[in-house]
Structure 1
Amino acid sequence: MTDQAQPEPPELWHYTTVGALEGILFSQQLHLSHASFLNDPRERHLIYEALSEEVSIQSGFFAEELRNVTPALDDDIDAVPFVTSFSANPDNLLLWTAYSDGLKGVALQVRAEVVKALCIRGHDEYQMDVRRVCYDDELVRVHVREQIADLKLSWEATQRNGGAGRGMMKQFHAVPEHLAHLSTNYKSSGWQQEDEWRLVARYRDPFNGYGEENDDEVRRRHRAAWRYRDGKRPYIAVEIEPHRMIEKIIMGPCADERKVHGVAAEYGLQNKIDRSPTIIRCA
């Protein structure tokens, strides 16, 4: 997974709308969306499809147990992380169009080291990480194949020692949970222009996944940090210090300069405004 292991660049850019910028500055929060409710519903399924392919070539009792736990990868909403997106590209027409109100929004230039240090106040059970998105479809398959191969080696060793015990079953259930955590690391190669990095929040405590008594308590603690959009889409809020995190507010090619300056000035950030060098005829 060398593509993801690269160190984050010194600066990252968060493309958004002027209205969202005002919300970020007013609340001093950055919202991370539950990955089951991202704009592209297919992206998490890259890892599911790779797992299905791998499971289909297995046989015997090992394959049967694997098939029993793989539905948890898509069904267990608690195993799926929360994310918000940045790009290493400071001026991308695709990103301006897709995420910044059709060229009328802004891109927040932020210090990656500050983003990496963010946390959810009162909820240190969440692990925060900044990860580069991988756009190599084959690497998804390689990662899943490695996970299954390691599990099979443990399974075979357990069988030689007298059969599957409780520890082995935990290993089976850990596979879909681990892959659910990783499912936000991959996108189809068609999206590689985005050069995306993600702030990912995932729950530290594993779920036993097969009816242990403390599962409900773990889930209750897990969901204590959740808020909801439209009553059904979970997100979590991360507190920020805008003056410390935001290096520049880059106006999109068609942004309303007076509007952006008005929002920034209200929060003392008017000296951090710059404009995209992209020149385009705006309607």
Structure 2
Amino acid sequence: MSNVIQKDREARFAMANDFNPEKIKIGFLRAQMRSIKDEINLLGMDSRFCYGMLTHYTNLQGLVGIVESGGYWLSDIRFLNDAKEFEHGRELAQELIDKLITRPRHKPFEAILQELKVALNKPIQEPYFIASFSRDPDSLEQWRAYASGSDGVAIVFENTPGVDNPFICEPRMHSSRAIYDEDKKKRLVLNAISRFSIEYKKELLQNKQSFSCFSDQWAQHLLGVLTNAFITFKHHAFRTENEVRVVTSFGQICRSQGRVSHRVRAGRIVPYVSSTLFYGDLSARRPLPLREVIVGPVAAQSITIESVKAFLANSGYADVPVRPSSIPYRG
């Protein structure tokens, strides 16, 4: 399987490098494509596809729901703790814009930057929905944060290339590694703004009198690029979580003719959607790529393990191993 993943990485990287943005006639779309290439060059292709083992920490009820439905929930980021990280991204962008506006080379782009600042201060027009996974399948910090109590489990999936991939259904849903490094966050924001500024100046020099020169169009497309980056930003104090996020937007949910559901959690109502919305014909799909289930450090661990084994066997996953966490229980 490692050869398949390597070949897929090489093919995608070649496509990204071979693609010529100059073929795109509209300036802000060229800037958008150049920003994506900059992101790949800065973070690597793995940041976009996150192949390998992905672990979701949850409880027994979550395990039952995922196995029986064949999917997992993506929740509105506005009502999760991660919303603070999204706000951090907006604050970082505004801080950098204030510095860039004073520089002569960005003078022609000043009107767009001002519009962008206004847009960054407004509530998110198109909510984003995320599901969180980790590269670490047996982490004490993860158990404490996301699977505490008497029934915590870690579900380990294998994310591999293919049409049946439950983590990448582009353009409707994609996976991204969380970014903890502050320097990389700044570089992503600066690279995007610089790309748009350069392409805008090209448009002005060519005297193009078309909608592509309208400042609101440029500001909105630049906002979209930055928002996609903010979704992946996370405070460096949480870097040991080694998080991978599966992301979609309300617009993609609507285009897939989906319906948002709601649940009550921690004193708030959280909108969510099932990943199965993006899978197409479920009857033609293979089972979920479960590789193992780890039962957390709890008192009645052996009984919980046997119950999970029985459940998986009854659900068509008899070959999926179930093991105890290597972390000792302390009651």
TM over 0.5: yes
Partner amino acid, structure 2, of 1:236: V
Partner residue of 1:247 out of 284, 291, 294: 291
Answering whether residue 109 of structure 2 is matched by residue 76 of structure 1, we say no
Looking at structure 2, the residues matched to 131 and 220 of structure 1 have their Cα atoms a distance apart, in angstroms, of 18
Superposed CA RMSD in Å reads 3.2
Aligned residue number for residue 95 of structure 1: 142
| Deviation at residue 259 of structure 1 after TM alignment | 4.5
| Deviation at residue 84 of structure 1 after TM alignment | 1.0
Partner residue of 2:175 out of 110, 126, 130: 130
SS at match of 2:231: helix
SS at match of 1:185: coil
Aligned residue number for residue 189 of structure 2: 144
Provide TM-score, normalisation by structure 2: 0.68
Looking at structure 1, the residues matched to 119 and 322 of structure 2 have their Cα atoms a distance apart, in angstroms, of 46
SS at match of 1:191: helix
The residue correspondences of 1:26-175 to structure 2 (distance < 5 A) are 26-57=68-99, 58-59=101-102, 62-73=109-120, 75-78=123-126, 80-102=127-149, 104-113=151-160, 117-118=165-166, 126-162=171-207, 165-168=210-213, 169=215, 170-175=217-222
SS at match of 1:139: helix
Residue 192 of structure 2 contacts residue 225 of structure 2 at CA under 8 Å; is this kept in 1? Answer: no
| Deviation at residue 175 of structure 1 after TM alignment | 0.6
Partner residue of 1:257 out of 284, 305, 311: 305
Partner amino acid, structure 2, of 1:234: P
SS at match of 1:75: coil
Deviates more, 1:144-153 or 1:28-37: 28-37
Q: Which has the larger share of helix?
A: 2
SS at match of 2:275: strand
Partner residue of 2:52 out of 2, 10, 28: 10
Residue 32 of structure 1 contacts residue 237 of structure 1 at CA under 8 Å; is this kept in 2? Answer: yes
Provide TM-score, normalisation by structure 1: 0.79
- Structure 1 unaligned blocks of 5 or more: 204-217
Aligned residue number for residue 207 of structure 1: none
| Deviation at residue 161 of structure 1 after TM alignment | 4.4
SS at match of 1:233: strand
Answering whether residue 235 of structure 2 is matched by residue 188 of structure 1, we say yes
Aligned residue number for residue 281 of structure 1: 329
Aligned residue number for residue 261 of structure 2: 228
Q: Per the alignment, do residues 99 and 68 of structure 1 end up closer, same or farther by CA in structure 2, a change over 3 Å counting?
A: same
Q: Which has the higher contact order (CA 8 A, sep 6+)?
A: 1
Q: Per the alignment, do residues 113 and 191 of structure 1 end up closer, same or farther by CA in structure 2, a change over 3 Å counting?
A: same
| Deviation at residue 91 of structure 1 after TM alignment | 1.0
Q: Per the alignment, do residues 164 and 16 of structure 1 end up closer, same or farther by CA in structure 2, a change over 3 Å counting?
A: farther
Q: Per the alignment, do residues 230 and 11 of structure 1 end up closer, same or farther by CA in structure 2, a change over 3 Å counting?
A: closer
| Deviation at residue 99 of structure 1 after TM alignment | 0.9
Q: Per the alignment, do residues 277 and 125 of structure 1 end up closer, same or farther by CA in structure 2, a change over 3 Å counting?
A: closer
| Deviation at residue 27 of structure 1 after TM alignment | 2.2
Looking at structure 1, the residues matched to 235 and 294 of structure 2 have their Cα atoms a distance apart, in angstroms, of 28
SS at match of 1:229: strand
| Deviation at residue 129 of structure 1 after TM alignment | 1.9
SS at match of 2:172: strand
Residue 4 of structure 1 contacts residue 131 of structure 1 at CA under 8 Å; is this kept in 2? Answer: no
- Structure 2 unaligned blocks of 5 or more: 1-38, 277-281
Looking at structure 2, the residues matched to 247 and 220 of structure 1 have their Cα atoms a distance apart, in angstroms, of 28
Looking at structure 1, the residues matched to 171 and 43 of structure 2 have their Cα atoms a distance apart, in angstroms, of 24
| Deviation at residue 265 of structure 1 after TM alignment | 4.3
Partner amino acid, structure 2, of 1:179: L
Deviates more, 1:184-193 or 1:238-247: 238-247
| Deviation at residue 220 of structure 1 after TM alignment | 9.2
Deviates more, 1:18-27 or 1:231-240: 231-240
* Identical amino acids, percent of aligned pairs: 22
Residue 53 of structure 2 contacts residue 135 of structure 2 at CA under 8 Å; is this kept in 1? Answer: yes
Q: Per the alignment, do residues 153 and 244 of structure 1 end up closer, same or farther by CA in structure 2, a change over 3 Å counting?
A: closer
| Deviation at residue 167 of structure 1 after TM alignment | 0.4
Partner amino acid, structure 2, of 1:139: K
Looking at structure 1, the residues matched to 220 and 201 of structure 2 have their Cα atoms a distance apart, in angstroms, of 16
Q: Per the alignment, do residues 41 and 141 of structure 1 end up closer, same or farther by CA in structure 2, a change over 3 Å counting?
A: same
